[in-house]
């Protein structure tokens, strides 16, 4: 059964997995002001997401669907945490005389409470990964301490929501650091049997100067591991594919298509995308990814 997944347009501020890279890009120089504003953008997005959810669904709506008390009040607590993070980051930027990024308009892809809660879990996990990925670039130790404090709170939010979704609250011994690029979607496949297809990626690769004989890799980021798997060009001459998700990919993880095993920003053809993997099931949270439960099909990125 082949599924095509739509990108999470709400995360368009982070680079795009669904939108292919049309030219080589250099890793941008990053300083504390960039990271503080990056963090503020994450918080703006999450605050807008919860605010919209609370305006769309009532306490009783959640209870009727089995999300019993104190789930709704805990969601409100998460929302307040995000507001507190915004206040803190805005004050830090103001104190340092750093111009603040402005809040954007967001479109969130959910249709009901279940999909809204699922997206909440994705956003919290992505946020934790984003804070972790940004931490090594912080120079000011006070900023680093504050960022790690927010990261810890994000991880608790993510664990709480994962448990509410009947997912393991702590699937991996290590959180996965996420670079400054990302977008996402959602699908179940079987770990160890699921292929991944990067749909129409060869055209993108040729735009980047990659020919049909050059090696291209699906690079998985899971916990502190980076696992490259060489992809093959499919018979249709348009897609790249790997046949199985490698061992060691657990929890909310990421995959990108790259011309280099290290998955450097300047070598990325498409990605990253998000995979939710347990020992039994993988949900692909990937922008433009195709996923399958059958033995002969798999997850695809389009």
> Per residue in 12-26, pLDDT tens?
333 323 333 444 444
Q: Which residues pair with 252 in a beta bridge?
A: 276
* pLDDT recorded at residue 16: 29
Q: Minimal CA–CA distance to 157: which of 136, 138, 175?
A: 175
pLDDT in tens, 70-94: 999 999 999 999 999 999 999 999 9
Give me the pLDDT at residue 81, please: 98
| pLDDT tens string 241-280 | 998 888 888 888 888 899 999 888 788 888 778 787 776 4
What is the structure's pLDDT at 287?
A: 43
Q: Could you tell me what percent of the chain has a pLDDT over 70?
A: 78
Per mean pLDDT, which of 12-16, 149-153, 180-184, 233-237 is the most reliable? 149-153
What confidence score (pLDDT) does residue 127 get?
A: 93
192 confidence band (pLDDT: 50, 70, 90): very low
| Spatial distance between the Cα atoms of 269 and 110, rounded to a whole number of angstroms | 28
What token pair was written down for 260? 């280099």
Confidence check: pLDDT of 224 > 50: yes
CB–CB of 288/199 below 8 Å? yes
pLDDT of the residue at 263: 84
Output the pLDDT for position 283.
53
Rounded Cα distance, 302 and 17, in Å = 9
Q: Edge-to-edge strands of the sheet including 268-277?
A: 3-4, 289-291, 298-301, 195-198, 240-242, 225-233, 216-222, 251-258, 268-277, 282-285, 188-189
Mean pLDDT of 200-214: 92
Q: Is it the case that residue 115 has pLDDT exceeding 80? A: yes
pLDDT at 288 over 50: no
Check residue 244 and give its pLDDT.
86
Whose CA is closest to 59, among 45, 70, 47, 43?
70
**Is residue 65 pLDDT above 80, yes or no?**
yes
- The per-residue pLDDT of the chain, averaged, comes to 81
Residue 4 pLDDT level (bands cut at 50, 70, 90):
very low
And the tokens for 129?
Answer: 């990964």
Helix (H) or strand (E) holding 126: helix 113-134
Instruction: Tally the C-alpha atoms within 13 A of residue 201's C-alpha that lie toward its C-beta.
Output: 31
Tokens of 39: 């963090």
pLDDT tens string 120-171: 998 999 999 999 999 999 999 999 999 999 999 999 999 999 999 988 899 8
For residue 298, give the H/E element and its range: strand 298-301
Handedness of CA 123, 128, 129, 130 (dihedral sign): positive
* pLDDT > 50? residue 203: yes
- pLDDT class for 184, splitting at 50, 70, 90? very low
Per-residue confidence (pLDDT) for residue 299, from 0 to 100: 42
């Amino acid at each position: 059964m082949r599924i095509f997944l739509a990108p999470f347009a709400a995360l368009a501020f982070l680079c795009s997995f669904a939108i292919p890279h049309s030219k080589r890009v250099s890793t941008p120089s990053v300083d504390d002001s960039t990271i503080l504003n990056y963090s503020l953008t994450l918080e703006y997005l999450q605050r807008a997401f919860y605010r919209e959810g609370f305006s769309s669904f009532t306490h009783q709506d959640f209870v009727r669907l089995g999300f019993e008390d104190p789930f709704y009040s805990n969601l409100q607590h998460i929302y307040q945490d995000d507001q507190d993070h915004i206040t803190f980051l805005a004050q830090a930027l103001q104190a340092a005389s750093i111009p603040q990024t402005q809040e954007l308009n967001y479109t969130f892809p959910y249709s009901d409470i279940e999909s809204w809660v699922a997206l909440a879990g994705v956003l919290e996990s992505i946020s934790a990964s984003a804070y972790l990925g940004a931490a090594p670039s912080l120079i000011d130790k006070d900023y680093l301490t504050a960022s790690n404090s927010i990261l810890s709170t994000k991880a608790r939010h993510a664990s709480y929501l994962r448990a509410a979704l009947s997912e393991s609250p702590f699937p991996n011994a290590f959180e996965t650091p996420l670079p400054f690029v990302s977008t996402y979607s959602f699908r179940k496949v079987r770990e160890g049997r699921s292929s991944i297809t990067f749909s129409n990626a060869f055209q993108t690769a040729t735009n980047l100067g990659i020919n049909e004989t050059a090696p291209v890799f699906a690079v998985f980021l899971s916990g502190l591991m980076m696992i490259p798997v060489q992809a093959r060009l499919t018979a249709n001459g348009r897609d790249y594919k790997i046949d199985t998700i490698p061992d060691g990919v657990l929890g909310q993880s990421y995959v990108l298509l790259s011309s280099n095993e290290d998955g450097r920003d300047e070598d990325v053809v498409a990605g990253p995308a998000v995979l939710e993997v347990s020992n039994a099931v993988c949900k692909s949270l990937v922008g433009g990814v195709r996923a399958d439960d059958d033995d002969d099909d798999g997850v695809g990125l389009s």
